[in-house]
Amino acid sequence: MASWGTAAKTNFQKIERVQNQSLRILTGGMRSTPINYMEAVAGLEPLEDRKMKKTLTQYTKFQHLTSHPMHKLIASKPKKRLKRTNFTASALQIHKRLDLPDLKPDAPLQTSIDWPPWSQQSHPEIAKDIDGISTKRSMSKSLLRCVTQDMLKEKYPSDHWIRAFTDGSASEAIRDGGDGPNCPCGASRQDAQHILQDCPQLEEARRKYWPEPREMNQKLYGSALHLGITAQFISSLDLTI
């Protein structure tokens, strides 16, 4: 929108005409419906107001960004042509028309980075070798496993890394996939059966929702009422599920 600050009035009217036609479609207005009424109904800011606001905002940015090429042009106040109004003159005219405070910056802005983060290209690091293992045939399977586990524990601790098997080596990897619940009891097997039925630390919490004993299938595959109770029970627990 700031680029339209120096556009000719006829070109800007073409954009306004497109927006007005869209307003009539959105609001169901007739050809005789006032534009300002349709803008109020649609909650849309007039293009003229948006152009002035964006022009002043861009002008102030150029004043503060001392390393920007437009900073020198604004400071030098270039001469304008008769048939063309430059950006600086347009901003100053709007400033004078609205009787705004002085636009001179108090302090220059310093850019934090020279390029946006999305332009930085980084590639993942793939480790294909394990220290202590030359070839698989030279060591037994149990020894290979011990060396690999020691390396993973040292370089990739479980509390900082998520271990994912992508080569199909994990048996039944599809079944019960994902991170399991983090029950405070510390049981080795923490599945739905443990949380909904077996955990002794959650016995009191379960009785609040199921005063009478319920089967596991009813809690997981029962009616909508039973499933709602199960969902409320899970949401009430301070667990990572």
Please calculate the CA angle 91-22-57 and round it to the nearest 5 degrees: 20
pLDDT recorded at residue 81: 62
Name the pLDDT band for 74 (thresholds 50, 70, 90). confident
Report the amino acid identity of residue 161.
W
pLDDT tens per residue, range 11-49: 888 888 888 888 888 888 888 888 888 888 888 888 888
**Highest mean predicted confidence (pLDDT) among 2-11, 44-53, 126-135:** 44-53
pLDDT tens per residue, range 136-178: 778 888 888 888 888 888 888 878 877 776 665 555 555 555 5
Q: Report, as an integer, the average pLDDT of 114-138.
A: 73
Q: Where are the domains of the chain?
A: 2-98, 132-167, 180-241
What DSSP letter does each residue of 7-52 carry, written as one string?
Answer: S-HHHHHHHHHHHHHHHHHHHT--TTS-HHHHHHHHT---HHHHHH
In the chain, beta strands by DSSP E: none
Count other C-beta atoms under 10 Å from residue 120's C-beta. 8
Look up residue 158 and give its two tokens.
Answer: 């479980």
pLDDT at 55 over 60: yes
Q: How far apart are CA 146 and CA 200, in angstroms?
A: 34
**Mean pLDDT across the chain, nearest whole number?**
77
